[in-house]
């Protein structure tokens, strides 16, 4: 199936069983998980599930000398703070 440019490239990927997508995500670095979570609402909703927090934790553990996620952050917010060019986290 031919796809012009980058449009529609994830459409077929999202038809995979969720356990396969989860297994693939287990091998991604935090920056890739963050990027993937920002591609579509479906990926965002999938990767932000509390049940998948271990994927983010495992991903963060692969980076040497990275500060641990503070208690007041969830892992995706911590990844965003560390690896995004802009800060989107508000601490009150």
Length of the chain as a residue count: 92
pLDDT at 87: 66
pLDDT at 18: 87
47-86 confidence digits (pLDDT tens): 999 999 999 999 999 999 999 999 999 999 999 989 888 7
Comparing C-alpha atoms, which of 69, 83, 68 is closest to residue 28?
Answer: 83
11-45 confidence digits (pLDDT tens): 777 788 989 999 999 999 999 999 999 988 988 99
CA-CA distance, 2 to 36, in Å (whole number)?
Answer: 22
The more confidently predicted of residues 82 and 92 is 82
Buried-state track 9-48, b at ≥16 Cβ within 10 A, e below 16: eeeeeeeeeeeebbeebeebebeebbebbeeeeebeebbe
């Amino acid at each position: 199936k031919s796809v012009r440019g980058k449009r529609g490239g994830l459409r077929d990927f999202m038809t995979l069983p969720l356990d396969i997508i989860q297994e693939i995500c287990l091998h991604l670095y935090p920056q890739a998980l963050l990027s993937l979570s920002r591609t579509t609402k479906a990926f965002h909703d999938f990767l932000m599930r509390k049940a998948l927090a271990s994927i983010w934790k495992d991903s963060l553990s692969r980076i040497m000398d990275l500060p641990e996620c503070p208690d007041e952050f969830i892992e995706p917010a911590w990844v965003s703070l560390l690896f995004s060019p802009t800060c989107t986290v508000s601490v009150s």
